[in-house]
Amino acid sequence: MSEIILTPKEQPQVPLEANTITPDSFAGKNIDEISNIAIWNGNKQFRLSEFFDVQGESAENPSEIKIIIDGDIYNTKRIGQSMTAGEITVKGNANMYVGAEMDGGKITVEGNVGSWAGQDMKGGELTVLGNAGDYVGSAYRGDWRGMSGGLITIHGNVGNEIAEYMLGGKMVIKGNVAIMPGIHMNGGLLIIEGNVVARTGGEMKGGTIVVKGVIDEFLAGFKYLGVERNIEVEGEIIEGAFYKFKGDLATKGASGIVYAAVAGNGHIVPK
């Protein structure tokens, strides 16, 4: 695998939009050509080399390219957007839309990311070691088809409306979640290892949500199906005892499933 190292210079106050930082757009270009790739700073375009030092060696095929962003790019959006192969590692924070519309390959962010990480994801792997904002693995605004494949793992906490309109693939949140995880979910698997504030699976019609932590408030539109032990979801066994709910019966023809760990969730079961 050939490595291309981008060392960020100072991040500008008006954010950068760098959907061209992908193995796909770097493939077949030499380092000079990569340095000249255009990125947006507000409404003006600049060369990549204005904001990053570019080193390393490129390759013909995107699957042979690993891009290492060696620093914090907290004000750069759209890293790895639409990538289909190869690898990107960010050794710091990144802004919105990391791995949006991603179809393959692997992205690892060592810090935090902004909202819409993995928006409309179709395949590949996105891992964030820090926190993420709202709308992880969501749909594009106004679309009713969200993430359809791939794997998103967030090690920290996330915000609202993650897995919005999710259709397929898998998302694992190791930290806590704000409100409305799996809103309008239609398929796929969402595993939350931490706690959820409220509205788990609001208006969901399909798919599975597993919550290992505590759900503060639950929606009345679900149907309680009893306790299940060592559940099997999408071919994997999750150990422990879970309350099982079906819903959200506020929507016509809903058959989504929410599992909530028995430990800590006694208050959401009907008396």
Partner 1 sequence: MELVKNVVCPFCGTLCDDIICKVEDNEIVGTKNACRIGHSKFVHAEGAERYRKPLMRKSGELVEVSMDEAIDKAATILAESKRPLMYGWSCTECDAQAVGVELAEEARAVIDNTASVCHGPSVLALQDVGYPICTFGEVKNRADVVVYWGCNPMHAHPRHLSRNVFGRGFFRDRGRPDRTLIVVDPRKSDSSKLADIHLQLDFNKDYELLDAMRAVLLGHEILYDEVAGIPREKIYEVVDALKNAQFGILFFGMGITHSRGKHRNIDTAIMLVEDLNDSAKFTLIPMRGHYNVTGFNQVCTWESGYPYCVDFSTGTPRYNPGETGSNDLLQNKETDGMMVIASDPGAHFPQKALERMAEIPVIAIEPHRTPTTEMADVVIPPAIVGMETDGTAYRMEGVPIRMRKVVDSGLLPDREILKRILKKVKEIKAASK
270 binds partner 1 (CB under 8 A): yes
* Cβ contacts of 123 within 8 Å, gap of 6 or more: 102, 103, 104, 149, 150, 169
Beta pairing, strands 151-154 & 170-173: parallel
- In terms of CB distance, is 250 or 263 closer to partner 1? 250
Q: What minimum distance in Å lies between the beta carbon of 200 and partner 1?
A: 11
Q: How far apart are the first and last CA of the chain?
A: 58
Q: What minimum distance in Å lies between the beta carbon of 159 and partner 1?
A: 10
How many Å apart are CA 231 and CA 147, to the nearest integer? 24
Long-range contacts of 234-243 (CB under 8 A, 24+ apart): 234/170, 234/189, 234/208, 238/191, 238/210, 240/212, 242/210, 243/268, 243/269
Q: What minimum distance in Å lies between the beta carbon of 249 and partner 1?
A: 4
- In terms of CB distance, is 130 or 221 closer to partner 1? 221
115 binds partner 1 (CB under 8 A): yes
Residue 24, H or E segment: helix 23-26
135 binds partner 1 (CB under 8 A): yes
96 binds partner 1 (CB under 8 A): yes
127 binds partner 1 (CB under 8 A): no
Mark residues 147-176: x for contact with partner 1 by CB under 8 A, - for none. --------------x---------------
How many Å apart are CA 194 and CA 210, to the nearest integer? 10
Among the listed residues 50, 57, 217, 236, the single contact to partner 1 using CB under 8 A: 217
Segment contacting partner 1 by CB under 8 A, of 1-9, 38-46, 50-58, 257-265 = 38-46
232 binds partner 1 (CB under 8 A): no
- In terms of CB distance, is 52 or 97 closer to partner 1? 97
- Kindly tell me the burial class for residue 44, based on how many C-beta atoms sit within 10 Å of its own C-beta (0-12, 13-18, 19 or more): exposed
219 binds partner 1 (CB under 8 A): yes
125 binds partner 1 (CB under 8 A): no
Q: How far is CA 262 from CA 93, 243, 270, in A?
A: 36, 6, 13
Q: Which residues sit at the interface with partner 1, rule CB under 8 A?
A: 13-15, 17, 40-44, 96, 115-116, 134-135, 141-142, 144, 161, 179-180, 183-184, 198-199, 202-203, 217-224, 248-252, 268, 270-271
